Structure 1
Amino acid sequence: MVKAVPLWLKIVTVVFIALIVVVMLAPLVVVIGTSFSANQFIAFPPKGFSLEWYHKVLSSSAYLSSGALSLGIALLVTLSSVTIGGAAAIAIHRRQLPQSELLGALFLSPLILPTIIYAIGLLMFWSAAFGPVSFITLWIGHTAITLPYVVRTTLAVLSESDPFIEEAARTMGAGRIQRLVFVVLPQCRPGLAAGAFFAFNISFDEAVLSLFLRTPDMTTLPVQIYGQLEFSPDPSVAAVSTIMIALTVILILVIDRVLGIRKFASA
Protein backbone atom coordinates (compact mmCIF):
# COMPACT_ATOMS: atom_id res chain seq x y z
CA MET A 1 0.00 0.00 0.00
CA VAL A 2 1.34 3.43 -0.93
CA LYS A 3 1.79 5.73 2.03
CA ALA A 4 0.30 9.21 1.99
CA VAL A 5 2.69 12.06 1.20
CA PRO A 6 3.63 13.88 4.42
CA LEU A 7 2.23 17.39 4.86
CA TRP A 8 5.67 18.93 5.35
CA LEU A 9 6.84 17.47 2.01
CA LYS A 10 3.82 18.97 0.22
CA ILE A 11 4.55 22.38 1.76
CA VAL A 12 8.24 22.21 0.80
CA THR A 13 7.30 21.21 -2.76
CA VAL A 14 4.82 24.07 -3.14
CA VAL A 15 7.33 26.59 -1.76
CA PHE A 16 10.07 25.28 -4.04
CA ILE A 17 7.86 25.49 -7.13
CA ALA A 18 6.74 29.00 -6.12
CA LEU A 19 10.38 30.10 -5.78
CA ILE A 20 11.18 28.71 -9.23
CA VAL A 21 8.22 30.58 -10.74
CA VAL A 22 9.31 33.81 -9.04
CA VAL A 23 12.91 33.43 -10.23
CA MET A 24 11.70 32.78 -13.78
CA LEU A 25 9.10 35.56 -13.98
CA ALA A 26 10.69 38.29 -11.87
CA PRO A 27 13.24 39.30 -14.56
CA LEU A 28 10.42 39.58 -17.10
CA VAL A 29 8.47 41.85 -14.76
CA VAL A 30 11.53 44.03 -14.27
CA VAL A 31 12.24 44.29 -18.00
CA ILE A 32 8.63 45.04 -18.95
CA GLY A 33 8.20 47.52 -16.10
CA THR A 34 11.41 49.35 -16.99
CA SER A 35 10.32 49.70 -20.62
CA PHE A 36 7.44 51.96 -19.53
CA SER A 37 9.60 54.10 -17.25
CA ALA A 38 9.80 57.87 -17.59
CA ASN A 39 13.40 57.81 -16.33
CA GLN A 40 16.30 58.50 -18.63
CA PHE A 41 18.22 55.58 -17.16
CA ILE A 42 17.47 51.94 -16.47
CA ALA A 43 15.91 51.73 -13.01
CA PHE A 44 13.35 49.61 -11.22
CA PRO A 45 10.73 50.23 -9.95
CA PRO A 46 9.97 52.73 -12.72
CA LYS A 47 9.12 56.31 -11.91
CA GLY A 48 6.17 57.49 -13.95
CA PHE A 49 4.67 55.99 -17.08
CA SER A 50 5.85 56.76 -20.59
CA LEU A 51 5.81 55.26 -24.08
CA GLU A 52 8.80 57.37 -25.06
CA TRP A 53 11.15 54.42 -25.34
CA TYR A 54 8.85 52.45 -27.62
CA HIS A 55 8.60 55.51 -29.85
CA LYS A 56 12.38 55.79 -29.83
CA VAL A 57 12.80 52.15 -30.79
CA LEU A 58 10.17 52.21 -33.55
CA SER A 59 11.61 55.42 -35.01
CA SER A 60 15.28 54.37 -34.76
CA SER A 61 16.85 53.33 -38.04
CA ALA A 62 19.47 51.31 -36.14
CA TYR A 63 16.89 49.24 -34.29
CA LEU A 64 14.61 48.85 -37.31
CA SER A 65 17.39 47.77 -39.68
CA SER A 66 18.86 45.33 -37.16
CA GLY A 67 15.39 44.00 -36.37
CA ALA A 68 14.64 43.48 -40.06
CA LEU A 69 17.95 41.66 -40.51
CA SER A 70 17.29 39.39 -37.52
CA LEU A 71 13.75 38.69 -38.73
CA GLY A 72 14.94 37.87 -42.25
CA ILE A 73 17.67 35.54 -41.00
CA ALA A 74 15.30 33.87 -38.53
CA LEU A 75 12.71 33.18 -41.25
CA LEU A 76 15.30 31.76 -43.63
CA VAL A 77 16.87 29.69 -40.85
CA THR A 78 13.46 28.34 -39.86
CA LEU A 79 12.74 27.32 -43.46
CA SER A 80 16.12 25.67 -44.00
CA SER A 81 16.16 23.98 -40.58
CA VAL A 82 12.68 22.53 -40.99
CA THR A 83 13.44 21.31 -44.52
CA ILE A 84 16.82 19.75 -43.75
CA GLY A 85 16.02 18.64 -40.21
CA GLY A 86 12.65 17.17 -41.13
CA ALA A 87 14.10 15.20 -44.05
CA ALA A 88 16.99 13.99 -41.90
CA ALA A 89 14.65 12.90 -39.10
CA ILE A 90 12.44 10.92 -41.49
CA ALA A 91 15.46 9.21 -43.05
CA ILE A 92 17.01 8.44 -39.65
CA HIS A 93 13.74 7.11 -38.29
CA ARG A 94 13.30 4.79 -41.25
CA ARG A 95 16.97 3.78 -41.11
CA GLN A 96 17.22 4.34 -44.85
CA LEU A 97 20.71 5.85 -44.57
CA PRO A 98 23.86 3.95 -43.60
CA GLN A 99 24.91 4.48 -40.00
CA SER A 100 21.62 6.15 -39.13
CA GLU A 101 22.40 6.25 -35.39
CA LEU A 102 25.74 7.90 -36.08
CA LEU A 103 24.04 10.47 -38.32
CA GLY A 104 21.49 11.14 -35.59
CA ALA A 105 24.29 11.85 -33.12
CA LEU A 106 26.00 14.06 -35.70
CA PHE A 107 22.89 16.21 -36.17
CA LEU A 108 22.57 16.58 -32.39
CA SER A 109 26.27 17.35 -31.85
CA PRO A 110 25.90 21.19 -31.94
CA LEU A 111 24.06 20.91 -28.61
CA ILE A 112 27.23 19.79 -26.81
CA LEU A 113 29.55 22.39 -28.34
CA PRO A 114 29.72 25.85 -26.69
CA THR A 115 28.40 28.47 -29.07
CA ILE A 116 31.43 30.71 -28.70
CA ILE A 117 33.79 27.86 -29.66
CA TYR A 118 31.62 26.99 -32.64
CA ALA A 119 31.51 30.65 -33.70
CA ILE A 120 35.29 31.03 -33.56
CA GLY A 121 35.81 27.77 -35.44
CA LEU A 122 33.31 28.68 -38.15
CA LEU A 123 34.83 32.15 -38.52
CA MET A 124 38.34 30.70 -38.96
CA PHE A 125 37.17 28.00 -41.36
CA TRP A 126 35.07 30.35 -43.51
CA SER A 127 37.80 33.00 -43.68
CA ALA A 128 40.38 30.43 -44.76
CA ALA A 129 38.14 28.61 -47.25
CA PHE A 130 35.87 31.30 -48.70
CA GLY A 131 37.13 34.69 -47.57
CA PRO A 132 35.18 37.39 -45.68
CA VAL A 133 32.00 36.45 -43.83
CA SER A 134 28.64 37.47 -45.25
CA PHE A 135 24.91 37.05 -44.84
CA ILE A 136 25.27 33.49 -46.15
CA THR A 137 27.77 32.69 -43.40
CA LEU A 138 25.38 33.89 -40.73
CA TRP A 139 22.51 31.94 -42.30
CA ILE A 140 24.52 28.70 -42.42
CA GLY A 141 25.82 29.20 -38.89
CA HIS A 142 22.36 29.77 -37.43
CA THR A 143 20.96 26.82 -39.37
CA ALA A 144 23.61 24.50 -37.95
CA ILE A 145 22.81 25.36 -34.32
CA THR A 146 19.04 25.09 -34.81
CA LEU A 147 19.00 21.80 -36.72
CA PRO A 148 19.25 19.64 -33.56
CA TYR A 149 15.96 21.00 -32.26
CA VAL A 150 14.08 20.19 -35.46
CA VAL A 151 15.63 16.73 -35.72
CA ARG A 152 14.97 15.93 -32.07
CA THR A 153 11.34 17.08 -31.99
CA THR A 154 10.52 15.38 -35.28
CA LEU A 155 12.14 12.12 -34.20
CA ALA A 156 10.18 12.26 -30.94
CA VAL A 157 6.90 12.53 -32.86
CA LEU A 158 7.84 9.82 -35.37
CA SER A 159 8.78 7.43 -32.58
CA GLU A 160 5.14 7.49 -31.45
CA SER A 161 3.58 7.40 -34.93
CA ASP A 162 1.74 4.37 -36.28
CA PRO A 163 3.82 2.72 -39.05
CA PHE A 164 0.82 0.73 -40.27
CA ILE A 165 -0.91 3.87 -41.57
CA GLU A 166 1.75 4.31 -44.25
CA GLU A 167 1.66 0.59 -44.96
CA ALA A 168 -2.10 0.80 -45.44
CA ALA A 169 -1.63 3.74 -47.83
CA ARG A 170 0.93 1.74 -49.81
CA THR A 171 -1.45 -1.22 -49.97
CA MET A 172 -4.16 1.08 -51.33
CA GLY A 173 -1.88 2.10 -54.18
CA ALA A 174 -0.40 5.37 -52.89
CA GLY A 175 3.00 6.16 -54.39
CA ARG A 176 6.07 7.18 -52.43
CA ILE A 177 5.46 10.91 -52.90
CA GLN A 178 1.79 10.56 -52.01
CA ARG A 179 2.63 8.66 -48.84
CA LEU A 180 5.17 11.31 -47.89
CA VAL A 181 2.79 14.23 -48.48
CA PHE A 182 -0.45 12.76 -47.15
CA VAL A 183 0.75 10.35 -44.44
CA VAL A 184 4.27 11.03 -43.19
CA LEU A 185 4.31 14.82 -43.15
CA PRO A 186 0.95 15.12 -41.32
CA GLN A 187 2.35 12.76 -38.69
CA CYS A 188 5.46 14.94 -38.41
CA ARG A 189 3.52 18.20 -38.18
CA PRO A 190 3.67 18.64 -34.36
CA GLY A 191 7.40 17.94 -34.34
CA LEU A 192 8.08 20.21 -37.30
CA ALA A 193 6.03 23.00 -35.70
CA ALA A 194 7.88 22.65 -32.41
CA GLY A 195 11.22 22.58 -34.22
CA ALA A 196 10.27 25.64 -36.28
CA PHE A 197 9.32 27.51 -33.11
CA PHE A 198 12.66 26.73 -31.47
CA ALA A 199 14.62 27.46 -34.65
CA PHE A 200 13.01 30.87 -35.12
CA ASN A 201 13.47 31.95 -31.51
CA ILE A 202 17.03 30.68 -31.21
CA SER A 203 18.07 32.36 -34.45
CA PHE A 204 16.28 35.61 -33.64
CA ASP A 205 17.86 35.78 -30.16
CA GLU A 206 21.33 34.48 -31.04
CA ALA A 207 23.98 37.01 -30.06
CA VAL A 208 27.32 35.19 -29.74
CA LEU A 209 27.35 33.66 -33.21
CA SER A 210 26.02 36.87 -34.76
CA LEU A 211 28.74 38.88 -32.99
CA PHE A 212 31.55 36.83 -34.52
CA LEU A 213 30.05 36.41 -38.00
CA ARG A 214 28.75 39.93 -38.57
CA THR A 215 30.20 42.65 -40.77
CA PRO A 216 30.27 46.40 -40.04
CA ASP A 217 27.13 46.91 -42.12
CA MET A 218 25.36 43.79 -40.83
CA THR A 219 24.20 44.05 -37.21
CA THR A 220 21.48 41.82 -35.81
CA LEU A 221 19.06 42.95 -33.12
CA PRO A 222 20.74 41.10 -30.19
CA VAL A 223 24.11 42.59 -31.16
CA GLN A 224 22.51 46.03 -31.38
CA ILE A 225 21.08 45.56 -27.88
CA TYR A 226 24.47 44.55 -26.49
CA GLY A 227 26.08 47.57 -28.09
CA GLN A 228 23.43 49.85 -26.64
CA LEU A 229 23.96 48.37 -23.17
CA GLU A 230 27.71 48.83 -23.44
CA PHE A 231 27.87 52.43 -24.60
CA SER A 232 24.63 54.22 -23.67
CA PRO A 233 22.20 52.07 -21.68
CA ASP A 234 18.68 53.45 -21.41
CA PRO A 235 15.15 51.96 -21.14
CA SER A 236 14.96 51.59 -24.92
CA VAL A 237 16.79 48.30 -24.45
CA ALA A 238 13.99 47.14 -22.15
CA ALA A 239 11.43 48.26 -24.73
CA VAL A 240 13.12 46.19 -27.46
CA SER A 241 13.27 43.20 -25.11
CA THR A 242 9.58 43.58 -24.31
CA ILE A 243 8.75 43.60 -28.03
CA MET A 244 10.78 40.41 -28.46
CA ILE A 245 8.93 38.81 -25.54
CA ALA A 246 5.61 39.84 -27.10
CA LEU A 247 6.70 38.30 -30.42
CA THR A 248 7.37 34.98 -28.68
CA VAL A 249 3.97 35.09 -26.97
CA ILE A 250 2.29 35.79 -30.32
CA LEU A 251 4.06 32.80 -31.86
CA ILE A 252 2.81 30.57 -29.04
CA LEU A 253 -0.74 31.85 -29.52
CA VAL A 254 -0.56 31.22 -33.28
CA ILE A 255 0.70 27.68 -32.69
CA ASP A 256 -2.06 27.10 -30.16
CA ARG A 257 -4.62 28.38 -32.66
CA VAL A 258 -3.33 26.33 -35.59
CA LEU A 259 -1.98 23.20 -33.94
CA GLY A 260 -2.88 23.18 -30.27
CA ILE A 261 -0.53 23.54 -27.34
CA ARG A 262 -1.05 19.93 -26.24
CA LYS A 263 0.20 18.53 -29.55
CA PHE A 264 2.97 21.11 -29.64
CA ALA A 265 4.13 20.28 -26.10
CA SER A 266 3.99 16.55 -26.76
CA ALA A 267 6.70 16.97 -29.39
Structure 2
Amino acid sequence: MVHAIPRWARIGGTALLVLVTVYMFAPLLVVVGAAFNTTRFLAFPPEGWTFDWFAKVLSDDTWISPFLTSIQVALITALVAAAIGTMTALAVTRHRFPGSAFIQSLAMSPLIIPSIIFAIGMLQFSSSYLGGPSQTILTIAHIVITIPYVLRTVMGVIARSDRFTEEAARVMGASWWRRYWHILLPMCRPGIVAGAFLAFIVSFDDAVIALFVRTPTLETLPMAIYSKLEFSADPAVAAVSTLSMALTAIAIIVIEKVVGLGKAFS
Protein backbone atom coordinates (compact mmCIF):
# COMPACT_ATOMS: atom_id res chain seq x y z
CA MET A 1 0.00 0.00 0.00
CA VAL A 2 1.32 3.41 -0.99
CA HIS A 3 1.25 5.98 1.80
CA ALA A 4 1.06 9.72 1.28
CA ILE A 5 4.28 11.63 1.82
CA PRO A 6 4.23 13.23 5.30
CA ARG A 7 3.83 16.97 5.41
CA TRP A 8 7.10 17.44 7.28
CA ALA A 9 8.92 15.52 4.54
CA ARG A 10 7.44 17.72 1.82
CA ILE A 11 8.33 20.89 3.72
CA GLY A 12 11.84 19.62 4.45
CA GLY A 13 12.38 18.57 0.85
CA THR A 14 11.18 21.93 -0.44
CA ALA A 15 13.42 23.80 2.00
CA LEU A 16 16.41 21.69 1.00
CA LEU A 17 15.69 22.33 -2.69
CA VAL A 18 15.53 26.08 -2.05
CA LEU A 19 18.80 26.04 -0.09
CA VAL A 20 20.60 24.08 -2.80
CA THR A 21 19.26 26.42 -5.49
CA VAL A 22 20.37 29.51 -3.56
CA TYR A 23 23.77 27.94 -2.90
CA MET A 24 24.26 27.28 -6.61
CA PHE A 25 22.98 30.58 -8.00
CA ALA A 26 24.17 33.05 -5.35
CA PRO A 27 27.77 33.16 -6.70
CA LEU A 28 26.42 33.74 -10.22
CA LEU A 29 24.29 36.63 -9.00
CA VAL A 30 27.35 38.16 -7.34
CA VAL A 31 29.28 37.95 -10.62
CA VAL A 32 26.41 39.50 -12.58
CA GLY A 33 26.04 42.31 -10.04
CA ALA A 34 29.78 43.05 -10.10
CA ALA A 35 29.67 43.35 -13.90
CA PHE A 36 27.55 46.52 -13.61
CA ASN A 37 29.71 48.19 -10.95
CA THR A 38 30.88 51.76 -11.58
CA THR A 39 34.15 51.31 -9.69
CA ARG A 40 37.34 50.01 -11.29
CA PHE A 41 37.57 47.06 -8.92
CA LEU A 42 35.50 43.93 -8.41
CA ALA A 43 33.06 44.64 -5.63
CA PHE A 44 29.64 43.53 -4.49
CA PRO A 45 27.13 44.99 -3.92
CA PRO A 46 27.84 47.45 -6.75
CA GLU A 47 28.26 51.12 -5.82
CA GLY A 48 26.53 52.16 -9.02
CA TRP A 49 25.16 50.75 -12.27
CA THR A 50 26.76 51.05 -15.70
CA PHE A 51 27.08 49.15 -18.98
CA ASP A 52 30.55 50.56 -19.68
CA TRP A 53 32.33 47.32 -18.84
CA PHE A 54 30.26 45.39 -21.36
CA ALA A 55 31.08 48.00 -24.02
CA LYS A 56 34.77 47.70 -23.15
CA VAL A 57 34.71 43.90 -23.40
CA LEU A 58 32.91 43.93 -26.76
CA SER A 59 35.41 46.39 -28.26
CA ASP A 60 38.68 45.17 -26.72
CA ASP A 61 40.77 42.65 -28.66
CA THR A 62 42.18 41.45 -25.34
CA TRP A 63 38.86 39.67 -24.85
CA ILE A 64 37.60 39.21 -28.42
CA SER A 65 40.61 37.23 -29.64
CA PRO A 66 40.56 34.65 -26.80
CA PHE A 67 36.78 34.39 -27.18
CA LEU A 68 37.06 33.60 -30.89
CA THR A 69 39.81 31.06 -30.17
CA SER A 70 37.65 29.34 -27.54
CA ILE A 71 34.65 29.31 -29.89
CA GLN A 72 36.71 27.80 -32.72
CA VAL A 73 38.23 25.10 -30.52
CA ALA A 74 34.88 24.31 -28.89
CA LEU A 75 33.00 24.05 -32.20
CA ILE A 76 35.57 21.68 -33.72
CA THR A 77 35.62 19.69 -30.50
CA ALA A 78 31.82 19.38 -30.42
CA LEU A 79 31.57 18.27 -34.06
CA VAL A 80 34.38 15.71 -33.94
CA ALA A 81 33.40 14.38 -30.51
CA ALA A 82 29.79 14.04 -31.68
CA ALA A 83 30.87 12.04 -34.74
CA ILE A 84 33.28 9.74 -32.88
CA GLY A 85 31.01 9.33 -29.85
CA THR A 86 27.98 8.51 -32.00
CA MET A 87 29.84 5.95 -34.09
CA THR A 88 31.26 4.35 -30.95
CA ALA A 89 27.83 4.22 -29.30
CA LEU A 90 26.27 2.61 -32.36
CA ALA A 91 29.10 0.09 -32.62
CA VAL A 92 29.00 -1.11 -29.01
CA THR A 93 25.19 -1.17 -28.72
CA ARG A 94 24.09 -2.50 -32.10
CA HIS A 95 26.96 -4.92 -32.72
CA ARG A 96 28.51 -7.45 -30.39
CA PHE A 97 32.12 -8.21 -31.25
CA PRO A 98 35.25 -9.20 -29.33
CA GLY A 99 36.62 -6.19 -27.49
CA SER A 100 33.44 -4.10 -27.56
CA ALA A 101 33.38 -3.82 -23.78
CA PHE A 102 37.03 -2.78 -23.78
CA ILE A 103 36.39 -0.11 -26.43
CA GLN A 104 33.51 1.29 -24.38
CA SER A 105 35.63 1.35 -21.23
CA LEU A 106 38.51 2.99 -23.10
CA ALA A 107 36.22 5.67 -24.53
CA MET A 108 34.82 6.41 -21.05
CA SER A 109 38.22 6.42 -19.32
CA PRO A 110 38.84 10.20 -19.63
CA LEU A 111 36.08 10.71 -17.06
CA ILE A 112 38.12 9.01 -14.34
CA ILE A 113 41.50 10.55 -15.20
CA PRO A 114 42.23 13.80 -13.29
CA SER A 115 42.35 16.73 -15.69
CA ILE A 116 45.72 17.93 -14.46
CA ILE A 117 47.29 14.49 -14.96
CA PHE A 118 45.87 14.32 -18.49
CA ALA A 119 47.10 17.85 -19.20
CA ILE A 120 50.64 17.03 -18.05
CA GLY A 121 50.61 13.88 -20.17
CA MET A 122 49.46 15.82 -23.25
CA LEU A 123 52.15 18.43 -22.66
CA GLN A 124 54.92 15.85 -22.42
CA PHE A 125 53.63 13.81 -25.37
CA SER A 126 53.18 16.82 -27.64
CA SER A 127 56.58 18.23 -26.68
CA SER A 128 58.33 14.92 -27.36
CA TYR A 129 56.59 13.72 -30.50
CA LEU A 130 54.33 16.42 -32.00
CA GLY A 131 56.51 19.51 -32.07
CA GLY A 132 55.13 21.12 -28.93
CA PRO A 133 51.78 22.54 -27.82
CA SER A 134 49.51 24.23 -30.35
CA GLN A 135 45.85 24.94 -30.98
CA THR A 136 45.59 21.60 -32.78
CA ILE A 137 46.96 19.76 -29.75
CA LEU A 138 44.55 21.63 -27.48
CA THR A 139 41.63 20.69 -29.74
CA ILE A 140 42.67 17.03 -29.79
CA ALA A 141 42.91 17.02 -25.99
CA HIS A 142 39.42 18.50 -25.72
CA ILE A 143 38.03 15.94 -28.16
CA VAL A 144 39.45 13.11 -26.06
CA ILE A 145 37.92 14.36 -22.80
CA THR A 146 34.51 15.12 -24.33
CA ILE A 147 33.87 11.90 -26.26
CA PRO A 148 32.47 10.20 -23.10
CA TYR A 149 29.70 12.81 -22.83
CA VAL A 150 28.49 12.10 -26.35
CA LEU A 151 28.88 8.36 -25.84
CA ARG A 152 26.72 8.31 -22.71
CA THR A 153 23.93 10.51 -24.06
CA VAL A 154 23.69 8.61 -27.36
CA MET A 155 23.79 5.23 -25.62
CA GLY A 156 21.03 6.39 -23.29
CA VAL A 157 18.81 7.34 -26.23
CA ILE A 158 19.56 4.09 -28.07
CA ALA A 159 18.67 2.06 -24.97
CA ARG A 160 15.19 3.66 -24.95
CA SER A 161 14.64 3.55 -28.71
CA ASP A 162 12.17 1.22 -30.39
CA ARG A 163 14.12 -1.55 -32.09
CA PHE A 164 10.99 -2.87 -33.80
CA THR A 165 10.96 0.12 -36.17
CA GLU A 166 14.48 -0.66 -37.29
CA GLU A 167 13.61 -4.36 -37.58
CA ALA A 168 10.54 -3.52 -39.67
CA ALA A 169 12.69 -1.52 -42.06
CA ARG A 170 15.10 -4.42 -42.39
CA VAL A 171 12.24 -6.83 -43.14
CA MET A 172 10.93 -4.43 -45.79
CA GLY A 173 14.27 -4.62 -47.56
CA ALA A 174 15.97 -1.43 -46.38
CA SER A 175 19.75 -1.63 -46.58
CA TRP A 176 21.87 -1.11 -43.47
CA TRP A 177 22.81 2.36 -44.69
CA ARG A 178 19.16 3.41 -45.09
CA ARG A 179 18.26 1.96 -41.71
CA TYR A 180 21.02 3.91 -40.01
CA TRP A 181 20.48 7.16 -41.92
CA HIS A 182 16.67 7.33 -41.94
CA ILE A 183 15.74 5.52 -38.72
CA LEU A 184 18.50 5.06 -36.17
CA LEU A 185 20.27 8.41 -36.51
CA PRO A 186 17.01 10.43 -36.27
CA MET A 187 16.18 8.45 -33.13
CA CYS A 188 19.60 9.34 -31.72
CA ARG A 189 19.37 13.04 -32.61
CA PRO A 190 18.47 14.28 -29.09
CA GLY A 191 21.40 12.36 -27.63
CA ILE A 192 23.78 13.55 -30.35
CA VAL A 193 22.79 17.19 -29.90
CA ALA A 194 22.90 16.96 -26.10
CA GLY A 195 26.30 15.29 -26.18
CA ALA A 196 27.68 17.81 -28.68
CA PHE A 197 26.37 20.65 -26.51
CA LEU A 198 28.02 19.20 -23.41
CA ALA A 199 31.25 18.76 -25.38
CA PHE A 200 31.10 22.38 -26.49
CA ILE A 201 30.57 23.65 -22.94
CA VAL A 202 33.32 21.48 -21.46
CA SER A 203 35.77 22.62 -24.14
CA PHE A 204 34.77 26.27 -23.93
CA ASP A 205 35.11 26.37 -20.11
CA ASP A 206 38.29 24.33 -19.83
CA ALA A 207 41.17 26.07 -18.07
CA VAL A 208 43.28 23.21 -16.69
CA ILE A 209 44.32 21.63 -19.99
CA ALA A 210 44.61 25.04 -21.67
CA LEU A 211 46.98 26.13 -18.89
CA PHE A 212 49.45 23.40 -19.85
CA VAL A 213 48.81 23.06 -23.58
CA ARG A 214 49.27 26.70 -24.49
CA THR A 215 51.70 28.91 -26.38
CA PRO A 216 52.54 32.63 -26.15
CA THR A 217 50.19 33.27 -29.08
CA LEU A 218 47.43 30.87 -27.99
CA GLU A 219 45.06 32.04 -25.27
CA THR A 220 41.53 30.88 -24.61
CA LEU A 221 38.87 32.89 -22.83
CA PRO A 222 39.17 31.01 -19.49
CA MET A 223 42.91 31.65 -19.53
CA ALA A 224 42.36 35.33 -20.29
CA ILE A 225 39.96 35.55 -17.33
CA TYR A 226 42.46 33.74 -15.11
CA SER A 227 45.27 36.12 -16.12
CA LYS A 228 43.13 39.18 -15.38
CA LEU A 229 42.09 37.84 -12.00
CA GLU A 230 45.70 37.09 -11.14
CA PHE A 231 47.19 40.47 -11.99
CA SER A 232 44.58 43.24 -12.42
CA ALA A 233 41.02 42.22 -11.70
CA ASP A 234 38.36 44.69 -12.78
CA PRO A 235 34.61 44.44 -13.52
CA ALA A 236 35.45 43.57 -17.14
CA VAL A 237 36.14 40.02 -15.91
CA ALA A 238 32.65 39.86 -14.42
CA ALA A 239 31.20 41.32 -17.64
CA VAL A 240 32.88 38.59 -19.72
CA SER A 241 31.61 35.92 -17.34
CA THR A 242 28.09 37.37 -17.49
CA LEU A 243 28.11 37.36 -21.29
CA SER A 244 29.34 33.74 -21.31
CA MET A 245 26.54 32.70 -18.97
CA ALA A 246 23.99 34.55 -21.09
CA LEU A 247 25.20 32.88 -24.30
CA THR A 248 25.08 29.46 -22.63
CA ALA A 249 21.55 30.06 -21.34
CA ILE A 250 20.38 31.22 -24.79
CA ALA A 251 21.96 28.15 -26.43
CA ILE A 252 20.21 25.84 -23.95
CA ILE A 253 16.84 27.48 -24.61
CA VAL A 254 17.26 27.36 -28.40
CA ILE A 255 18.39 23.72 -28.44
CA GLU A 256 15.61 22.72 -26.06
CA LYS A 257 13.03 24.36 -28.34
CA VAL A 258 14.47 22.87 -31.53
CA VAL A 259 15.50 19.38 -30.40
CA GLY A 260 14.45 18.89 -26.80
CA LEU A 261 17.38 18.18 -24.49
CA GLY A 262 15.00 16.61 -21.98
CA LYS A 263 14.62 13.60 -24.29
CA ALA A 264 18.33 12.86 -23.93
CA PHE A 265 18.44 13.14 -20.13
CA SER A 266 15.03 11.76 -19.17
TM norm structure 2: 0.96
Corresponding residue of 1:149: 149
**TM-aligned CA deviation for residue 96 of structure 1:** 4.4
Give structure 1 stretches of 5+ with no counterpart.
none
Equivalent residue letter for 2:148: P
C-alpha distance after superposition, 1:205-261 (max 9, x if no partner): 001001110110000000000000000001111100011101111111111221124
CA distance in 2, matches of 1:76, 1:260: 22
Q: Partners of 2:83 and 2:10 in 1: how far apart?
A: 46
Residue 208 of structure 1 corresponds to 208
SS at match of 1:13: helix
User: Within 1, Cα distance between the matches of 2:246 and 2:223?
Assistant: 19
- What residue is the counterpart of 1:56 in the other structure? 56
Map of 1:183 onto structure 2:
183
Equivalent residues of 1:54, 1:236 under 8 A apart = yes
My pick for the range that moved more, 3-12 or 81-90, is 3-12
TM-fit CA distance, 1:11: 2.2
Give the aligned partner of residue 162 of structure 1. 162
Q: Which portions of structure 1, spanning 4 or more consecutive aligned residues, are displaced by more than 4 angstroms?
A: none
Distance 1:257 1:6 in 2: 37
Counterpart Cα distance in 1 of 2:247 and 2:105: 32
Aligned length: 266
In 1: Cα distance, 2:97 partner to 2:116 partner: 31
Q: Shift of residue 97 of structure 1?
A: 4.1
Q: How does 1:78-93 map to 2 (within 5 A)?
A: 78-93=78-93
Q: Offset of 1:44 from its aligned partner? A: 0.6
Q: What amino acid maps onto 2:131 in structure 1?
A: G
Map of 1:265 onto structure 2: 265
- The alignment partner of 2:188 has SS state of helix
Q: Which residue of 1 aligns with 2:135?
A: 135
Contact 1:71 1:204 in 2 (8 A): yes
Check whether the contact 1:255–1:264 (CA below 8 A) recurs between aligned residues.
no
* SS, match of residue 229 in structure 1: helix
Q: What are structure 2's unaligned runs of at least 5 residues?
A: none
Q: Secondary structure at the match of 1:174?
A: coil
Counterpart secondary structure, 1:44: coil
Other-structure match for 1:123: 123
Write out per-residue CA displacement over residues 161-219 of structure 1, whole angstroms, 9 at most, x where no aligned residue: 12221121122221121111101100110110110110010000001001110110000
> For the aligned residues, what is the CA RMSD?
1.2
Alignment CA distance shift 1:6-1:176 (3 Å): closer
What is the CA–CA distance in structure 2 between the aligned matches of 1:23 and 1:66, rounded to whole Å? 30
